[in-house]
C-alpha cells in the first residue's frame, strides 16, 4: 500500500477521554446529571418490576400446564384401552390428512392462475378445503394428545 492511501484512511480505533477532569462541568450540568441518574434508576426499577411480573406470569402458566398434563396422565391411566385406540385412530387419521393435503396441493397446482385471478374461484377453493382442513387438524390434535405416551421425565409431551 502506498503512503498516500495510508494517510487518507481514517484510523479504526480512537481514544476518548471520559474522565471528569478532562471536561469541567457547567453549573447546571450537575443537576442534569442527577436528573439523568434518577431517570436511569427509575427505568431500572420499572424493568425489575416487569421482570417480576413476567416471572409470576410464567409460573402461573406453567402451573396450569402441569395441572393439565397431570389430569391427562390420570385420564390415560384410567382409560389405557381408549388411549391405545386414540393412538391407532391418530395414526390412521394422519394418513388421511396426508392424502387430503396431497389432493389440496394438486388442486392448487392445477388451478393456480384461476385462484390468483378470480376472487370467486379463491373463495370456492377456501370454502371447499378450509373447513375440512380445520376440522381434520383439530381432531388429529385431540387424538394425538389423548394417545401420547407418558413422558418419564414428567414433562408434557408435544403432539
* pLDDT tens per residue across span 82-96: 989 999 999 999 999
Overall pTM surpassing 0.75 (yes/no): no
The reported pLDDT for the residue numbered 140 is: 94
Number of C-beta neighbours around residue 90 at 10 A: 21
Question: Please, what is the average pLDDT of the chain?
Answer: 83
Q: Assess contact for 83 and 76: CB atoms under 8 A.
A: yes
Confidence of residue 154 (pLDDT cuts 50, 70, 90): very low
* pLDDT at residue 106 greater than cutoff 70: yes
Q: What is the predicted pLDDT for the residue at 147?
A: 85
Instruction: Compute the distance between CA of residue 56 and CA of residue 52 in angstroms, rounded to an integer.
Output: 6
Q: Are 145 and 72 in contact (CB under 8 A)?
A: yes
Percent of the chain with pLDDT over 90: 51
Contact 141, 159 (CB under 8 A): yes
**C-alpha 125: how far from chain center:** 29
Q: Which residues of 23-54 are buried (b: 16+ CB within 10 A; e: fewer)?
A: eeeeeeeeeeeeeeeeeeeeeeeeeeeeeeee
Percent of the chain with pLDDT over 70: 75
Residues 147, 80: Cα–Cα separation, whole Å: 9
The pLDDT score that the predictor gives to residue 118 is 82
Is residue 1 pLDDT above 60, yes or no?
Answer: no
- Find all residues with CB under 8 Å of 129, minimum gap 6, and list them: 104, 107
Q: How far apart are CA 122 and CA 138, in angstroms?
A: 23
Instruction: Encode pLDDT of 49-74 as tens digits.
Output: 999 999 999 999 999 999 988 998 89
Amino acid at each position: 500500500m502506498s503512503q498516500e492511501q495510508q494517510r487518507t484512511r481514517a484510523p479504526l480505533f480512537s481514544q476518548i477521554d471520559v474522565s471528569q477532569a478532562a471536561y469541567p462541568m457547567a453549573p447546571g450540568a450537575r443537576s442534569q446529571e442527577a436528573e439523568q441518574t434518577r431517570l436511569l434508576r427509575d427505568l431500572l426499577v420499572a424493568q425489575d418490576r416487569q421482570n417480576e411480573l413476567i416471572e409470576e406470569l410464567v409460573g402461573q402458566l406453567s402451573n396450569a400446564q402441569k395441572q393439565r398434563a397431570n389430569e391427562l396422565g390420570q385420564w390415560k391411566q384410567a382409560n389405557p384401552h381408549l388411549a391405545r385406540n386414540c393412538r391407532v385412530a391418530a395414526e390412521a387419521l394422519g394418513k388421511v390428512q396426508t392424502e387430503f393435503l396431497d389432493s389440496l396441493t394438486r388442486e392448487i397446482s392445477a388451478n393456480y392462475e384461476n385462484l390468483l385471478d378470480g376472487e370467486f374461484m379463491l373463495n370456492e377453493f377456501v370454502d371447499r378445503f378450509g373447513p375440512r382442513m380445520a376440522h381434520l387438524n383439530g381432531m388429529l390434535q385431540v387424538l394425538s394428545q389423548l394417545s401420547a405416551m407418558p413422558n418419564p421425565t414428567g414433562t408434557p409431551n408435544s403432539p
